Amino acid sequence: MWKEHYSKIKKEKHPPAYTLRKALDFIASQDNITEKTAIDLGCGNGVDTFALLENGFSVFAIDSNPNSLLHLQQNLASEHSKLLKFNNVSFENLEKLPLAYLVNASFSLPFCHSNQFDKLWLNIIECIPPGGIFCGHFFGPQDSWNSNSDMTFHNIQDVKNLFDKFEILYFNEISKKGKTLSGKEKFWHVFHIVAKKKHLQKQ
């Protein structure tokens, strides 16, 4: 499946995820960001990783597929080589994440096994400092892949509960018939989110 996905991406020029573009627009409007660090969870073909690099971020890219690193290396601009680190690891085996101003997870978190999702999410929350940004996607219960027991699905209340420590900057729920990048028909039920971590309230 992923080999087909990469070859499809290579033939077509895809823009970065809309949620990442929204996050980058928000970040561009801020003037107090001193350290542009990002984690790209499930970086895949690297479209979002390259967008982050081009916007001046140092990026820690993570993907369980070793083909992902090969794709990044083949397409990486020489001036960005020192700004990119890569870890070939599954979400289920991911150790503690380094602090990062931005965590991007474009269509990747649902592929974490449901038994391990809470641990992964806690890891994500802890690595984002107050004022930092999360952008990404969650699959809803109506998604046609919902019978896959190796994946994680959330209803709208579940998603909102995940972001109790965040201010929601962008939220869009989409339910529609469509195709995967490899051209297969499916029903998409997806929550698109950009959120900013709240500062702790002083007692």
- At 139-165, the pLDDT tens digits run 999 999 999 999 999 999 999 999 999
Q: Where are the domains of the chain?
A: 18-23+34-197
Residue 67: helix, strand or coil by DSSP? helix
Are 61 and 85 in contact, with CB atoms under 8 Å apart? yes
User: What's the CATH fold of domain 18-23+34-197?
Assistant: Rossmann fold (3.40.50)
Residues 6+ apart with CB under 8 A from 162: 121, 138, 154
Per-residue pLDDT reduced to its tens digit, 78-117: 999 999 999 999 999 998 999 999 999 999 999 999 999 9
Are 115 and 135 in contact, with CB atoms under 8 Å apart? no
Assessment of whether the complete model's pTM goes beyond 0.95: no
DSSP state of 76: -
